[in-house]
Every structure is written in structure tokens, then in C-alpha cells.
Amino acid sequence: MPVTAPESADRAAIITVDDDPGVSRAVARDLRRRYGEQHRIVRAESGDSALDALREMKLRGDLVAVILADYRMPQMNGIEFLERAMDIYPSARRVLLTAYADTGAAIDAINVVDLDHYLLKPWDPPEEKLYPVVDGLLDAWMATDHRAVPETKIVGHRWSARSSEVREFLARNQVPYRWYASDEPEGERLLAAAGADGLRLPVVITPDGEALVEPADAELATKVGLATTPSKDFYDLIVIGGGPAGLGAAVYGASEGLRTVLVERTATGGQAGQSSRIENYLGFPDGVSGAQLTDRARRQAAKFGAEVLTTRDVVGLEVNGSARSVRFSDGTGIDAHTVILATGVSYRQLAAPGLDDMTGRGVYYGSALTEAAACMSQDVYIVGGANSAGQAAVYLSRGARSVTILVRGASLQRSMSYYLVQQIEDIPNISVRTCTEVIEAHGDDHLESLTLRNTANGETETVSAQWLFLFIGAAPLTDWLSGVVERDDRGFVVAGPDLAIEGQKPRGWTLDRPPYHLETSVPGVFVAGDARAESAKRVASAVGEGAMAVMLVHRYLEKT
Ligand SMILES: Cc1cc2nc3c(=O)[nH]c(=O)nc-3n(C[C@H](O)[C@H](O)[C@H](O)COP(=O)(O)OP(=O)(O)OC[C@H]3O[C@@H](n4cnc5c(N)ncnc54)[C@H](O)[C@@H]3O)c2cc1C
């Protein structure tokens, strides 16, 4: 059966279904004449095809204002159809088209499907019989709060770790989405429209209505329009890592004419992308959120022609003559004249019983931003004494009932910037527990309580807790570079003058000149930002090193 759904998708639809093609066309024609400019008129010739259209529209996030159904249709009569349509669009207004002989059934339908109106056929002239009815129903529908949801939708469970990861992934990639809990009515309706049973979550529905069940990051990235595949085999410069250092390098590299590709494991922005407000970055006196900074940097890199690949994990680096080869986790790879390592650091996992099981179910590493709404009016615990923990505390304190910062040390002053310590002291619902560590987490399907230990006197205490955010010591994840470039005993990459031991060139170094300032023990491979040994661990220095590494790349290319 034909289903005609013309024109733009952002206008609330009026659906008409009648098995008689002539009548169906006539209703649609009259509706289009009066409402065609403001509304989509969707016509179907059977209950089943109209339901298919409604499911598709639901997944795309379209609005449906009014549904008109003929009563006498084979297979599924108008009342049965409206009953099922209500499951998909409960707030659409419902009209049954009947003949004189069917008015009794129509009146009964008022009780079954909460019918708004029944219209007797024929409805001529429409100005008298059809339009006043539809006008009234549209007014009533508009009076309630209806907004189209054209963006990506996630249907997930509050305590599903993967649901939380997917939200975080989309947020960090600046993909707008709307979240629906799978056990709430609209979430259930979306799952039904997608034909999903809700056992495997999340279900992600793309803006064009495609439903992805438990998608992996790479699949999600492709579907939401992020590049994941390199366009060339060979580049001048491969930048590994999409934090401030990597984005800085990509902007300078591409703007200075180098064929540049940036490869990022998850989402661009790195640690800075998770910051609610960076207040000490030059040029932003009122602070800037990590998301804003990342978005601008990524657009800037793209403007200059840098390729930015996400969800590509680099697992190997090799020297093949003058080429530097980078291998991805799926076995594929790309080559370049030069490489900048900008892989930063990651949060260390806290080794306490129960924490692993609760990760994503009340326990989160970083990622305070996406969970903030869910912590509204609740008690929140934060572990960590550095700026990242302080920023998260300030941010979460706006909605949470209380925020407790747990620090092992005797004060915050030693590890956190002065301006943040001052802010925290002035916020009444933030408290700081010094000399305190988390030694166990408890809960069934989500975090319920924490056991804390006082590091000064050894006393323990169990507190009720549903939310724990950890911002603890950062480690460079550089094991894949083992045996390729020199690293210090904590895994940070050693570069430039730091490579010289007692004035000697580094092991395996074959060139007459010593390594340039940010050059690693492999000529043509540079390091920038937090991944470098003895680096400053600041956004500004990471960006600066990214830019400086590009200058050294030019020098390297000129001399080889
Ligand atoms: C919450 C928070 C708040 C902060 N606030 C401030 C602040 O206010 N001011 C300030 O100056 N600093 C702040 N910092 C510190 C600052 O963000 C970092 O110093 C900065 O982000 C370091 O940049 P980077 O590019 O070197 O590394 P990162 O930001 O760590 O980025 C590294 C990137 O490389 C990717 N990557 C790693 N390994 C691979 C691989 N093998 N393949 C592909 N990709 C890989 C990672 O996924 C990551 O995106 C904050 C940090 C955090 C966490």
C-alpha cells in the first residue's frame, strides 16, 4: 500500500488512513489544501502501512498532531488501528471517519481509544464539516508542549555501563542527543517502534530513524557522521591523540601546508574536553568549557584541511626506512614522513573491591559532565585532590544536594590551584574530607554505599552513596611504544635534551645532530603535551608544544 509522506520532516504531521484509494486521496487533498503549508499530510491505505509509517516517524523524531482513520477497513478496523497508533503517538488527536450506519461503533470507540471526534462521511463542504474539527484538534494539540526530536536518541538504562559510555561518547564528540530511560513510557514506545525487546541496551536511534542495538563506538561514529577511515595511505604528518596538544599540532600542521591526519582513540578533546570550565587558558577571561574549546579547535583543524579520525586506536609504531608507520587495532595502518605523539594521560583505575563492578553504574572516571543532570538533588562523592576534581565539585554542586571531596592528603592546598580552593570554600554544599580513601564499594545493580578509611587513624566508616566520581593520578598509556621510543620508568616519553645521558646521544640514534627539543629517540617522531616526560600538564603548554612540534617537523623535513 502506498504511503505518501511528502515535504519537510520538521512540521507536525496529519495522518489519514482509508482503504478506499479514492476516499483516501480526497481526504488528503482537502487536508493539504488547508494545512499543507504548516503540516505534513501523510496518507496510507491500510492500518498496517499507516502503523509502519508511524513507527518510522517515531524513530526519526517527527511530530504527529492528528490521525484520521476510516472505521470500516479490512484486516484492521479504524478503532483497532487507532488503539495501536496510540501506543506510538499517545498525544496525537484521534478522529474516526464513519458512515451513518457506524455511528454506534464510533460512540463506543470514544471509550476504547479516547476518541476526540468522529466525522461522518461525506464531509462536504470541508469548510463546514472537516476544517472546524481539525482546527480545534490542532489548537488542542498545540496547547500542550510538543517539540520535535530530530537529533540522535538514546534509549538506555540508568544503571547500564554501556548506556553511560555511549552518552559520554556522543557528548564528547559534540553530537546532540536526547536520552530516554528504557523503563519510562516514551522509552518503551521508542523501543517498540524499533522492534527492540529492551534486553540489549542502549538502542541508539540516528536522526534518519535507523535503530542501532548496543552499537560499538566505531559504528556509532560512522552513523553520526564522524570520519573513521583515512583518505590516503601516506601523509606528511600523523598526529596521534586528539587532546589540546594533538589538535594544536593538527591546526598548525595543516595550516602550514602539511598533509596532516589526526588519529584519536575515542573523541577529540582529550582530558580538556572533560573539563567543565578551564579558567586559566589565555584569552578566555571568563573561562571556557572543554567542549567549546574542543569544538572550535576541531573546526579550525578541519578548516585548514586536517583529516580528523575518531575511534581509531593506534597500537603500533614502526620505522620503515624514511617512513614512519602507524598501525591501528584492526590491523590496518598508514605511513608518514613524521609523527607527533600527543597521547596524553588517562585516569588510573582505583583498585578497591567492588569499584570495577560498579563502573558505569554509579562509579565514573572523570565524565562528570554527562551524569550531572542525573545527580540532581543527590549526594555526590568525588575522589581526587587536583584541579580536575575541584572543577567537577564546583560544577556538580550546582544541582547536587551535597558534594563531598575525598582526598588522601592532609589538605587540598598542595594539589589544587588557589582560585579553585577559594571557590570550593565559598560553596556551602561542598565539603572536603581530608586523610580519607575509598577502600570498598557496595551495591547490587548500582552503587549503594562506600567504605571509607581515615588514613591518619585507620578508622573505617560506611556511608550511603549512589554517585562516585574519580579523578585520580594520571598515567600515560604508552606500552605500545615499548622498545620503539625511550620512555621513563612511569611510561612518559622522553624527548630532546632529556635523552642525552652524560652528553651522549640516545641509544640507536644514527644522525650526526642531537635530537631536536621535542624529538623522541626516533628521528622524525616527536612528542607533545602530557605524554612527554616532565611536561607541565596544562592546556596552554600542551597546545604550545603541539605548535612547536610542527615547527620542528618542518626543520626535520627540510634536512632529510
Ligand atoms: C577534568 C579536567 C580538568 C582540567 N582542567 C584544566 C584547567 O583548568 N587548566 C589547565 O591548564 N589544564 C587542565 N587540565 C589538564 C589538561 O586538560 C591537560 O594537561 C591537557 O588536556 C593535556 O593535553 P594532551 O593533548 O597532552 O593530552 P590529553 O588531553 O590527555 O589527550 C590525549 C588524547 O590522546 C588520545 N589517545 C591516547 N592514546 C591513544 C592511542 N594509542 N591512539 C589514539 N588516540 C590516543 C586520548 O584518547 C586523548 O583524547 C584538566 C584536566 C582534566 C581531566
pLDDT for 66 equals: 96
Atom of ligand 1 nearest to the CA of 536: 19
Please state, in angstroms and rounded to a whole number, the distance separating the CA atoms of residues 146 and 220: 28
Distance 78 CA to ligand 1 centre (A): 58
Q: How confident is residue 5, by pLDDT bands cut at 50, 70 and 90?
A: very low
Tell me: pLDDT of 323 over 60. Answer: yes
User: Which distant-in-sequence residues (6+ apart) come within 8 Å of 393 by Cβ?
Assistant: 382, 403, 405, 424, 427, 430
pLDDT for 196 equals: 95
Compute the average pLDDT of residues 305-328. Answer: 97
Q: Whose CA is nearest to atom 22 of ligand 1?
A: 530
Main-chain dihedrals φ then ψ at residue 381, nearest 5 degrees = -115, 140
pLDDT for 367 equals: 66
Q: pLDDT tens across 172-222, in order?
A: 888 889 999 999 999 999 999 999 999 999 999 998 899 999 999 999 999
Atom of ligand 1 nearest to the CA of 267: 49
Question: Alpha carbon of 307 to those of 91, 123, 227, 303, 381: distances in Å?
Answer: 45, 59, 8, 10, 39
Tell me: pLDDT of 343 over 70. Answer: yes
pLDDT for 103 equals: 75
Q: Report yes or no: 192 and 199 within 8 Å, Cβ to Cβ.
A: no
Main-chain dihedrals φ then ψ at residue 269, nearest 5 degrees = 115, -30
Distance 384 CA to ligand 1 centre (A): 16
Q: How confident is residue 274, by pLDDT bands cut at 50, 70 and 90?
A: confident
**Bridge-based pairing state of the strands 333-341 and 525-527:** parallel
Pull the grid cell for residue 73. Answer: 477497513
Burial of 303 (0-12, 13-18, 19+ CB in 10 A): exposed
Between 520 and 359, the more confident residue is: 520
pLDDT for 501 equals: 80
pLDDT for 1 equals: 43
pLDDT for 8 equals: 39
Q: Which residues pair with 311 in a beta bridge?
A: none
pLDDT for 411 equals: 92
How many angstroms separate the most distant Cα atoms in the chain? 103
User: Which distant-in-sequence residues (6+ apart) come within 8 Å of 29 by Cβ?
Assistant: none
The set of protein residues with a Cβ atom below 6 angstroms from ligand 1 is 240-246, 263-266, 270-272, 274-275, 278-280, 313-314, 342-345, 366, 387-388, 391, 477, 529-531, 537-540, 542
Q: How confident is residue 7, by pLDDT bands cut at 50, 70 and 90?
A: very low
Please state, in angstroms and rounded to a whole number, the distance separating the CA atoms of residues 52 and 257: 51
Please state, in angstroms and rounded to a whole number, the distance separating the CA atoms of residues 165 and 361: 11
Please state, in angstroms and rounded to a whole number, the distance separating the CA atoms of residues 2 and 52: 11
Distance 242 CA to ligand 1 centre (A): 8
Atom of ligand 1 nearest to the CA of 546: 25
Residue 213 in 3-state DSSP? strand
Q: pLDDT tens across 524-540, in order?
A: 999 999 999 999 989 99
pLDDT for 224 equals: 86
Tell me: pLDDT of 10 over 90. Answer: no
Distance 270 CA to ligand 1 centre (A): 4
Distance 161 CA to ligand 1 centre (A): 23
User: Which three-class secondary structure string do you get for 14-42?
Assistant: EEEECCCHHHHHHHHHHHHHHHCCCCEEE
Distance 293 CA to ligand 1 centre (A): 12
Q: Report yes or no: 311 and 221 within 8 Å, Cβ to Cβ.
A: yes
Question: Alpha carbon of 45 to those of 3, 15, 68, 97, 109: distances in Å?
Answer: 7, 11, 12, 14, 21
pLDDT for 11 equals: 87
Q: Which residue's C-alpha cell is 581526587?
A: 384
* Residue in 17, 118, 132, 120 with CA at minimum distance from that of residue 64: 17
Q: pLDDT tens across 487-503, in order?
A: 999 999 999 999 988 87
Atom of ligand 1 nearest to the CA of 315: 41
Distance 539 CA to ligand 1 centre (A): 8
Compute the average pLDDT of residues 444-471. Answer: 96
Atom of ligand 1 nearest to the CA of 368: 1
Compute the average pLDDT of residues 280-285. Answer: 93
Distance of alpha carbon 41 from its chain centroid, rounded? 34
pLDDT for 3 equals: 47
pLDDT for 81 equals: 95
Buried-exposed string 288-302: b where 16+ CB fall within 10 A, e elsewhere: bbbbebbbebbebbe
Tell me: pLDDT of 547 over 90. Answer: yes
Q: pLDDT tens across 394-428, in order?
A: 999 999 999 999 999 999 998 899 999 999 999 99
Q: pLDDT tens across 247-271, in order?
A: 999 999 999 999 999 999 999 999 9
Please state, in angstroms and rounded to a whole number, the distance separating the CA atoms of residues 489 and 143: 66
Distance 344 CA to ligand 1 centre (A): 5
Neighbours of 425 (CB within 10 A): 11
Q: pLDDT tens across 230-244, in order?
A: 999 999 999 999 999
pLDDT for 369 equals: 72
Distance 272 CA to ligand 1 centre (A): 5
| pTM of structure | 0.82
Atom of ligand 1 nearest to the CA of 347: 53
Pocket test of ligand 1: the residue of 263, 315, 539 to mutate, having most ligand atoms within 8 Å of its CB, is 539
Q: Whose CA is nearest to atom 37 of ligand 1?
A: 343
Tell me: pLDDT of 6 over 50. Answer: no
Q: pLDDT tens across 118-161, in order?
A: 888 888 899 999 999 999 999 989 888 677 777 899 999 988 88
Tell me: pLDDT of 275 over 80. Answer: yes
Residue 480 is which amino acid? W
Q: Which residue's C-alpha cell is 517539540?
A: 147
